Structure 1
Amino acid sequence: MSKADPAHKERRPTPSENDETVIDTETALDLLSDDHARRLLDELDGNPLSATELAERTDSSRATVYRRLDSLEDAGLVRSAMSVRADGHHRQRYHVAVDRVRLEFDSDGLAIEASDHVERDRNIDPPLHS
């Protein structure tokens, strides 16, 4: 099987385009208070993994892992990228998308702001356009 065509790779935002991300406060607090979600974030910190690898490392079912990953990805805390192995097999790998989450209290109420400086320092296979 031939290597993926670089022209079909999805463009990733540069750090300056995506440094500060405001995420849904209620969703983020729910996820950060969830034991399973926090365990996944701990495992993914600095270490992109597949859902199967996460299930094995956390002794969780794949269904539970996929549900939490979907929620974490929807909240902007986790991102995924398609990885192509040398033998041509594809797999989705997940990584933490933010390096800092800040809770802010102001006249508008409670807000969570996430700093997104992680990707420039990580060695992650770039996602492929599907």
Structure 2
Amino acid sequence: MTTAGLTDASIVRRVVAECDDRGRDAFLDGHGFERANQYYLQVDGRLYDAKAIANVAYRYEHMAPDARVISGGRDHSNRLLERIGFAVVDGRPTTVEGERAWRLAVWSHLQLTEDLSLM
């Protein structure tokens, strides 16, 4: 898998907006991805499937075919996203600090996407 080529943060933001517009499941299905099970891109307090966002952004940036060119995980999609200024949160933390970061990220996401007044 490639580790170069994702360089334009504005394209990542465009892909995030597409995900918001289409909805998570429609976005993932339309681009051939499944839901993330560990790593999530955090943008403006909301969480997104890191590997899917990185791959779709790469496709748009390089007009690449729909093949997956970026694998998931710390050394691939996460590193590429972090290198251009984004935060990636581990949904299966192994440290107290990681657990705190994950819980804060989920809380932020819920505040922005759910009607908490019903709780």
Q: Which has the higher strand share?
A: 1
Q: Same fold (TM over 0.5)?
A: no
Q: Which has the higher helix share?
A: 2
User: TM-score w.r.t. structure 1 length?
Assistant: 0.29
User: TM-score w.r.t. structure 2 length?
Assistant: 0.31
